[in-house]
């Protein structure tokens, strides 16, 4: 199987990730719970990963909270922040490009809070920060944007939105699931208050890893409670970070693996992304020239989305799978994006090359798409 579904989960993993995860598994111990050497070593793995990720993403004075994925990080940011405003009128600004990891927590809060939701639609498929600025009201308590859409690959100017958020004194949450590892991100410089990411996509880390970066000025309510290894006589959840939001045993192998993967990705950033973008350039050149193919993605992105006339996205993906190509079809857990694009009925096909693909594989994929389009047009 030739894998072109890296926007869902990255296939390539660096050797350093496997090595440190195996080391952790062979010397398994609970970080922060005991005083013996193995427990202290596990805690050091977690500490080192936390410091590295903060530095890598420009979170100089805040904190990094480890989660099992980006969805959990977004839930902590959204539910943890907005539940602080119970009894007040709450407005949240978000975009049509948001994932269900944002949309569903917001929807769930309708039963808890006096909340209104303001959707910012793209202009010519791009989010205009001026529309966000115009939408802010005295009740606005949070601005949320994806950094890069997982459907179209179009990016948001987070520095422009961050400046707007600062001007109005509103916290700004960015979903970096698709941008982490592909774009350089400086959280503090951009004016981002909360940054959520998965570890298993562009950062080349293991599944089960993710994080939320929290600026120093931001408070959240915990969304889970339990043992933290600190202040155990108290039945009240600790307020100190990171313990306040990390109840239960942390996944030390995944966190150590994420650290190794992040470092590898940082060290090879230009090489990795130059290669991926070259593959996307080939696709963006060839696919629009195929009769019946319609393009929906940004030419500057690391993903390519398209449709073929007379075929659903599932049909295309299934036929490509029969030819040994793995791609993503459907709505990509982003229903408002497809509603905006008018593709909610049949969805889109998403191709997301990775570091370990080759030009020969890209060309083979293009040939197979040509065959499908030609067959569909008969």
CATH number reported for the structural domain that contains residue 93 in this entry: 3.40.640.10
- In a 13 Å sphere around the CA of 17, the CA atoms on its Cβ side amount to 22
378 assigned to some structural domain: no
Whether residues 30 and 177 fall in one domain: yes
CA distances from 248 to 31, 226, 228, 357 (A): 10, 6, 6, 38
Peptide bond into 242 cis (omega under 30): yes
Is 179 within 8 Å of 145 (Cβ atoms)?
Answer: no
Tell me which of 228, 251, 267 is where a domain ends: 267
pLDDT tens by residue, 145-190: 999 999 999 999 999 999 999 999 999 999 999 999 999 999 999 9
Whether residues 204 and 282 fall in one domain: no
Question: Which residues, at least 6 apart from 220, have a Cβ–Cβ distance to it below 8 Å?
Answer: 76, 77, 80, 81, 84, 214, 244, 245
What is the distance between the alpha carbons of residues 93 and 132, in angstroms, rounded to a whole number? 7
What is the distance between the alpha carbons of residues 179 and 187, in angstroms, rounded to a whole number? 13
Which has more confidence, 229 or 163?
A: 163
What is the distance between the alpha carbons of residues 260 and 238, in angstroms, rounded to a whole number? 29
Please report which confidence band the pLDDT of residue 230 belongs to, taking 50, 70 and 90 as the band edges.
Answer: confident
Tell me the pairing of strands 89-95 and 63-67.
unpaired
377 assigned to some structural domain: no
What is the distance between the alpha carbons of residues 215 and 246, in angstroms, rounded to a whole number? 17
pLDDT tens by residue, 271-326: 999 999 999 999 999 999 999 999 999 999 999 999 999 999 999 999 999 999 99
Query: Scanning the structure block, which residue is given the tokens 């490509």?
Result: 320
Question: 252-267 vs 37-56: helix axis angle to the nearest 10?
Answer: 40
pLDDT at site 50: 98
Tell me which of 211, 237, 267 is where a domain ends: 267
**Residue 105: how many other CB atoms lie within 10 Å:** 20
pLDDT-above-90 percentage for the chain: 96
What is the distance between the alpha carbons of residues 102 and 144, in angstroms, rounded to a whole number? 8
Whether residues 65 and 114 fall in one domain: yes
Please report which confidence band the pLDDT of residue 33 belongs to, taking 50, 70 and 90 as the band edges.
Answer: confident
Whether residues 180 and 45 fall in one domain: yes
Whether residues 236 and 274 fall in one domain: no
Please report which confidence band the pLDDT of residue 229 belongs to, taking 50, 70 and 90 as the band edges.
Answer: confident
Whether residues 178 and 306 fall in one domain: no
What is the distance between the alpha carbons of residues 250 and 86, in angstroms, rounded to a whole number? 30
pLDDT tens by residue, 82-123: 999 999 999 999 999 999 999 999 999 998 999 999 999 999
Please give the residue range of the domain that contains residue 287: 2-9+269-372
Query: Scanning the structure block, which residue is given the tokens 């973008």?
Result: 277
pLDDT-above-70 percentage for the chain: 100
Helix (H) or strand (E) holding 78: helix 70-82
337 assigned to some structural domain: yes
Q: Sheet harboring 194-198: ordered strands across?
A: 63-67, 210-214, 194-198, 172-175, 140-146, 89-95, 114-120
């Amino acid at each position: 199987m030739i894998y072109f579904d890296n926007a869902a989960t990255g296939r390539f993993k660096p050797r350093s990730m496997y090595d440190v995860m195996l080391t952790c598994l062979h010397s398994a111990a609970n970080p922060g719970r005991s005083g013996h050497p193995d427990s202290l070593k596990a805690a050091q793995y977690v500490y080192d990963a936390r410091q590295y990720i903060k530095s890598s993403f420009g979170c100089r004075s805040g904190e990094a909270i480890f989660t099992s994925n980006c969805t959990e990080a977004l839930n902590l940011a959204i539910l943890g922040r907005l539940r602080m405003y119970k009894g007040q009128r709450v407005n949240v600004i978000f975009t049509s490009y948001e994932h269900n990891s944002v949309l569903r927590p917001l929807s769930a809060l309708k039963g808890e809070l006096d909340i209104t939701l303001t959707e910012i639609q793209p202009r010519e498929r791009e989010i205009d920060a001026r529309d966000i600025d115009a939408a802010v009201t005295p009740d606005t308590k949070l601005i949320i944007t994806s950094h890069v859409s997982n459907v179209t690959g179009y990016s948001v100017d987070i520095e422009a939105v961050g400046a707007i958020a600062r001007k109005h004194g509103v916290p700004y949450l960015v979903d970096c699931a698709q941008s982490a590892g592909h774009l350089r991100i400086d959280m503090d410089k951009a004016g981002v208050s909360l940054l959520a990411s998965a570890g298993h996509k562009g950062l080349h880390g293991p599944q089960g890893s993710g994080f939320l970066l929290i600026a120093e000025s931001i408070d959240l309510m915990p969304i889970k409670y339990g043992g933290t290894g600190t202040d155990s006589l108290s039945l009240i959840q600790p307020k100190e970070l990171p313990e306040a939001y990390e109840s239960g045993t942390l996944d030390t192998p995944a966190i150590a693996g994420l650290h190794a993967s992040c470092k590898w990705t940082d060290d090879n950033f230009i090489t990795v992304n130059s290669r991926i973008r070259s593959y996307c350039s080939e696709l963006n050149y060839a696919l629009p020239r195929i009769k019946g193919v319609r393009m929906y993605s940004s030419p500057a992105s690391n993903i390519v989305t398209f449709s073929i006339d007379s075929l659903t996205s599932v049909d295309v993906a299934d036929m490509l799978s029969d030819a040994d190509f793995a791609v993503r079809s459907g709505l990509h857990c982003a229903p408002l994006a497809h509603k905006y694009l008018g593709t909610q009925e049949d969805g889109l096909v998403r191709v997301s090359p990775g570091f370990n693909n080759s030009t020969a594989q890209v060309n083979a994929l293009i040939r197979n798409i040509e065959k499908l389009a030609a067959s569909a047009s008969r």
